Amino acid sequence: MVDNNPNDGRRRPHNLMGLLNFALESTKNEDAPNKSCFEEMEPERKKFLEEALKSMSVDIIAEMQRICGILMSSDASDDEKLDAMCELEIGAKALYGISGIIRSYEPATAHFIDIGGLECLLSCLSCGVPKICTQAMFMLNAMITDHPMV
């Protein structure tokens, strides 16, 4: 807490960066001692960790593009479109998560539009599967509410 003593030698913060610096300086004695030493990772372990990270990460835009592409493709068979719709129904939570990403990451909306997501969104809204329609509405809400210039 800032003391109201005018003889205090510390400067009072006037902006967010100043406040951050003030907080860092004021709590320096509470920091953990810096006794950690880093060693080079073994190549085998490094390769394992890189592969594990790569296998756990998902390119959301590529996945949205793949599913939207199947839904919007005139060449896709009805079975393929049905499979894509089932993926969307099963992945309704994923669509909800994507709407969260759209809320928090502004370029996601632009990427979604660039891949033809609006046409896909309209298709999802008119598909008749309640879970898909609901999640499509969540996505539309996130796009309109949080990024009104879209």
What local confidence, expressed as pLDDT, does residue 43 receive?
92
Which residues fall within 8 angstroms of residue 65, CB to CB, at 6 or more apart? 115, 116
**Are 99 and 138 spatial neighbours (Cβ–Cβ below 8 Å)?**
yes
Tens of pLDDT, residue by residue over 79-101, are: 665 666 666 555 565 566 667 77
In a domain? residue 53? no
> Per the structure, how many domains does the chain have?
1
In a domain? residue 133? yes
In a domain? residue 8? no
The reported pTM is 0.45
Integer angstrom CA distances of residue 137 from 26, 36, 46, 54, 95: 47, 49, 42, 31, 10
What local confidence, expressed as pLDDT, does residue 92 receive?
60
**Are 108 and 96 spatial neighbours (Cβ–Cβ below 8 Å)?**
no
29 band by pLDDT with thresholds 50, 70 and 90? confident
C-alpha dihedral sign at 92, 96, 99, 100 = negative
What domain range includes position 97? Answer: 60-146
What local confidence, expressed as pLDDT, does residue 146 receive?
63
In a domain? residue 32? no
Tell me which of 150 and 142 has the higher pLDDT.
142
Tens of pLDDT, residue by residue over 33-67, are: 776 677 888 999 999 989 988 888 777 677 767 76
In a domain? residue 35? no
In a domain? residue 46? no
Say which range, 30-39, 64-73, 134-143, has the weakest mean pLDDT: 64-73
In a domain? residue 124? yes
Task: Give me the mean pLDDT over the 10-22 stretch.
Answer: 78
What local confidence, expressed as pLDDT, does residue 8 receive?
56
What local confidence, expressed as pLDDT, does residue 70 receive?
64
Tens of pLDDT, residue by residue over 114-136, are: 887 788 788 778 777 677 777 77
What local confidence, expressed as pLDDT, does residue 96 receive?
66
In a domain? residue 64? yes
**Are 130 and 91 spatial neighbours (Cβ–Cβ below 8 Å)?**
no
